[in-house]
Structure 1
C-alpha cells in the first residue's frame, strides 16, 4: 500500500473550517472539512467519510489542495471540444440566420437545418450533422418559433412612430373626459373560422408522419373578438358576415362589458366596416385606428393564433352550427383563463403605467 500524501502546512485546521463555512460551493466545503479533519489527526478513512467520499478520492483531492490550495478543491468541468467554427464564423452565421435566406440564391423562403448544413459546408468547409446544426443555433441564441404577421407593404417608420406617440394620441382622443375617469384599453379584430381548416404542429414520434383531418368544404363564420388585457376580460360574437351591421353589434357587446363609470378605448385596424361613418359609437367608448398594414400591433391577432392552435385546428365541422359552437366554445375557454388574455395582450408601448 502507498504511503499517505503529506499535506501542505500553510493552512491550519481551524482556518480550513472557516473557509468551509464561507464557501458557497457545497462540494468545496465538504472537501475542506475532510482535509481539516486530517490536519486534526483523524485517520484518513474517517476523514473521507466526512466529505462523503472514499479514501482514494480524498487522496486525489489532497494532491489538488497541495497544488492550488482551497481553490484546487473546486470542481473544474471540462469545457468540451472546441467549436469547429471560429467566433468570427459563428457571428457570421448568426447574422445570416437573422437576415434570412435570399430566395433567388438559396432557393428557400426560410432557413431549415438542412439548408444551413449545406451553407455552413460551402462557406466554412465544416460538415455538420443536421441535428447538430439545431444545437448550434440554440447555442447562438436562436429558437424555432412562430413568426408574427408582417404586411409586405408596411412602413416600419410609421409603426414605430405610432408606438412612440401613443401617449399623446391617447391624451388627444380623451381630452374631453372628466378628470380621473378610469380608462380601459380594448383591442378588437375578427377572424374567419370555417370548414376549410388549418393543420398545426403536434408532438409525434420521430420518423412518423402523423395525419389530421382536413376538410375541403367552404362554409364559414366570423368570430368578432375584443380583449382588455389589463383586466383579462373579453367580448365576442360569432356572426355569419363581416360587415357594418355585424360590427355595430360587436361594438354594442363590448360596451356592455366595460366597467361602470369607466371609458373604453377601442383599438382596431382600418377595415371598411371599422371606419365607416354609419357606425354609432357608444358614449362609454372611443375608437382609435392602427396604422395601415400593421397587424403585429394588434394582440388579437395572437389570440386567433392561440385559439386555432389549441381548439380550432385539426378539426372537421359538419355544418354551420358546428362552426358557431366551436367558435363560442373556444372563446369561452379563453375567458376562463384571464391570465392568458393578459399574457397574450399586454403591450409595453400601449400599457405604459398599467399593471395586469
Structure 2
C-alpha cells in the first residue's frame, strides 16, 4: 500500500519589472510584491527619475496594468504598445528567458525570500552586463530607429 502524505498547495508571488535600452544596454529593474497600475506607475517613475535628461520611448505589451486608465506616465516618457499576442517583438521577453536559463534552471528554492534573492542577484548581474543586454534586446527594428528627433 502506498502511503498518503497530506500537502497543502500554497502559492506566493512576486513580480519583476524591467526595461532595457537596446541602444546602450542600460537595464532598470524593480522587484515588487504585486502588479497593478500603482506598481507600474512606480516603475515608470523610477525609470524616468534614473534618466531625467532623456526622453524615453517605452515599448511594451498590452498587459492589463500597462493599459490601466489610472496609469501615470512621466513627462519624459511615451508608451508605445506592441500588437496583441506578439511576444516575439518584445525585447523584455529575452530578458526573462535569460534570467530563467541562467539563474533559475535546475534549482529549488526553500521559500519566496530565496527566489527573490536569486531574482535580485540575477537582475543586478544583468544590469552590470551592458553588452549582453544590447545583444539580447537589440532587435533590428529597434536599433534602426533614429534617436534624433527633428
TM-score interval w.r.t. the shorter chain? 0.7 to 0.9
RMSD of aligned Cα (Å): 1.8
Q: After superposition, what is the alpha-carbon deviation per residue over 1:85-110, rounded to whole angstroms, capped at 9, x for unaligned? A: xxxxxxxxxxxxxxxxxxxxxxxxxx
Unaligned runs of at least 5 residues, structure 1? 1-215
Q: After superposition, what is the alpha-carbon deviation per residue over 1:114-167, rounded to whole angstroms, capped at 9, x for unaligned? A: xxxxxxxxxxxxxxxxxxxxxxxxxxxxxxxxxxxxxxxxxxxxxxxxxxxxxx
Give the structure with higher Rg (CA): 1
Q: After superposition, what is the alpha-carbon deviation per residue over 1:9-63, rounded to whole angstroms, capped at 9, x for unaligned? A: xxxxxxxxxxxxxxxxxxxxxxxxxxxxxxxxxxxxxxxxxxxxxxxxxxxxxxx
Give 1:350 deviation, angstroms. 1.8
Highest RCO, 1 vs 2 (Cα 8 Å, sep ≥ 6): 2
Q: 1:231 to 1:275 in 2, by over 3 A?
A: same
CA–CA separation in structure 2 for the residues paired with 1:346 and 1:333: 18
The corresponding residue for 2:98 is 306
1:334 paired to 2:126:
yes
Q: Secondary structure at the match of 1:311?
A: helix
TM value normalised by structure 1: 0.37
Q: After superposition, what is the alpha-carbon deviation per residue over 1:257-294, rounded to whole angstroms, capped at 9, x for unaligned? A: 32x43200011011111111201111110101110110
Whether the 8 Å CA contact 2:22–2:143 is kept in 1: the answer is: no
Q: After superposition, what is the alpha-carbon deviation per residue over 1:295-345, rounded to whole angstroms, capped at 9, x for unaligned? A: 110011011111111112222222222222111100001111100000001
Which of 324, 345, 348 is the equivalent residue of 2:140? 348
Runs of 4+ deviating beyond 6 Å: none
Which of 70, 78, 86 is the equivalent residue of 1:278? 70
Whether the 8 Å CA contact 1:230–1:354 is kept in 2: the answer is: no
Q: After superposition, what is the alpha-carbon deviation per residue over 1:206-242, rounded to whole angstroms, capped at 9, x for unaligned? A: xxxxxxxxxx863331111111111211111111212
The corresponding residue for 2:26 is 233
Unaligned runs of at least 5 residues, structure 2? 1-8
CA–CA separation in structure 2 for the residues paired with 1:286 and 1:250: 14
